[in-house]
Amino acid sequence: MRLALAIIGLLASLCLATECSAQTGAEDRAFSVQTLTQVAEPVLTALADGKLKSALPTHDWEAARAHFAPLEAFGRTLAGIAPWLELGPDDSAEGRLRARFIDLSRRALVHGTDPASPDYFNFQEGSQPLVDAAFLALGLLRAPHQLWDPLDALQRRNLVAALQSTRAIQPNESNWLLFSATVEAALWQLTGQGNLPPIERAVQSHQQWYLGDGTYGDGPEFHWDYYNSYVIQPMLLEVLRVCAAHSNALGNLQPQIRARARRYAAVQERMISPEGTYPVIGRSSAYRFGAFHLLAVMALQHQLPPELKPAAVRGALTAVVRRTMAAPGTLDAQGWLQVGAVGHQPSLCEGYISTGSLYLCLFGLVELGLPASDPFWTAPPEPWTQKQIWSGADVPADHAYTKK
């Protein structure tokens, strides 16, 4: 295992030492895997040993959020790394590393949902548990073979009971509707029994809140932030996938929702500068490269718009992660994330933020669910849109998506 980590780390360090603009797909992947494991490991190792509540930092500024932070940290970590976990173990250095993280994730999942565990999560007190139970559910939907199938009957009952307990929490008329919907979609997919009304309500409301050009309101109003990417569009896609798998009529909306998501992905790709920076705007800026969750999801699902070359998207996403992780203060001395978009920036903290919240950044690495042999990783480097434009290349004009 140490050898696997050393190989991954060596490849990643070579990437960091190279300032050229054309890293290979293997280098990009090595760096992304190193980032995923570096960020996720403190959460998973602590929880796998039943010690997350005692290990997770609780600063003065987040004292009021301490009861929510462990589930925040794990739910968000799991949703981000699940596509990579679902690839399963193999005999490569990365595959052996992945086997270790699969084991950690399963053990962590069992601890967090066992009422007898000292690390049993808060699933009912306050409203925040609904949010992160939904992220946990999203992780289960993304890696059912690695996270759900191996559980024994008692472990499954504990997990189902934990998710069901969040039904007492009423979501706001906002993206929160998708949290209830995602929990029910996971229960439906994994057990065959879920409540359909929360799913119907979330989908129908977001149909009403669609504003055009691939963008939804967060509720009836538009917000300049990244919640279309953090939550709205990825969760809509996943909920409708489950509906289609169960031959529910809502599944027929998939082509329409996917077309909107493609447009939003195209916009996201254009927001990445030649240097790998992007506009830090709106709520939850401390979620860092999680801002590009939707673009990464579309790459993972082979649903990028035709004007985007996968290798260019790979380069753009990896450039953002490189810029972020290179910023001093991103991690504290013990390896836990600190508040900030670029390094440690305490003023970006908001009232609903805890250290656990910050692990949503891992959503920006879901493209690692594509195997290393996928063209996304093997294709030669390509410049992304802004890199082309600012080098003087003649790039086709951008146009709005006008269909409903």
Residue 210: phi and psi, rounded to 5, are -70, 130
Query: Please, are residues 101 and 44 in contact by the beta-carbon 8 Å criterion?
Result: yes
Query: Please, are residues 178 and 232 in contact by the beta-carbon 8 Å criterion?
Result: yes
- Output the CA–CA distances (angstroms, integers) from residue 309 to 3, 70, 318, 381, in the order listed: 34, 38, 14, 10
- Output the CA–CA distances (angstroms, integers) from residue 237 to 190, 205, 206, in the order listed: 17, 15, 12
* Cα distance between residue 351 and residue 61, in whole Å: 9
- Output the CA–CA distances (angstroms, integers) from residue 209 to 205, 217, 281, 318, in the order listed: 6, 5, 21, 32
Q: What is the pLDDT of residues 236-294, one digit of tens each?
A: 999 999 999 999 999 999 999 999 999 999 999 999 999 999 999 999 999 999 999 99
Q: What is the pLDDT of residues 97-156, one digit of tens each?
A: 999 999 999 999 999 999 999 999 999 999 999 999 999 999 999 999 999 999 999 999
Whose tokens are 């004009």? That residue is: 397
- The token duo for 86 is 């679902």
> Tens-digit pLDDT profile for the chain (404 aa)?
454 445 444 444 444 443 334 799 999 999 999 999 999 999 999 999 999 999 999 999 999 999 999 999 999 999 999 999 999 999 999 999 999 999 999 999 999 999 999 999 999 999 999 999 999 999 999 999 999 999 999 999 999 999 999 999 999 999 999 999 999 999 999 999 999 999 999 999 999 999 999 999 999 989 999 999 999 999 999 999 999 999 999 999 999 999 999 999 999 999 999 999 999 999 999 999 999 999 999 999 999 999 999 999 999 999 999 999 999 999 999 999 999 999 999 999 999 999 999 999 999 999 999 999 999 999 999 999 999 999 999 999 999 999 98
Residue 214: phi and psi, rounded to 5, are 80, 15
Domains of the chain: 2-389 (1.50.10.20)
Query: Please, are residues 75 and 139 in contact by the beta-carbon 8 Å criterion?
Result: yes
Q: 238 in helix, strand or coil?
A: helix
pTM of the predicted protein model: 0.94
Report which DSSP code applies to 335: S
- The token duo for 355 is 């250290």
* Cα distance between residue 75 and residue 96, in whole Å: 23
* Cα distance between residue 13 and residue 6, in whole Å: 10
Residue 19, classified by CB atoms within 10 Å of its CB into exposed (0-12), middle (13-18) or buried (19+), is exposed
Q: 250 in helix, strand or coil?
A: helix
Closest CA to 101 of 53, 146, 71: 146
* Cα distance between residue 61 and residue 133, in whole Å: 23
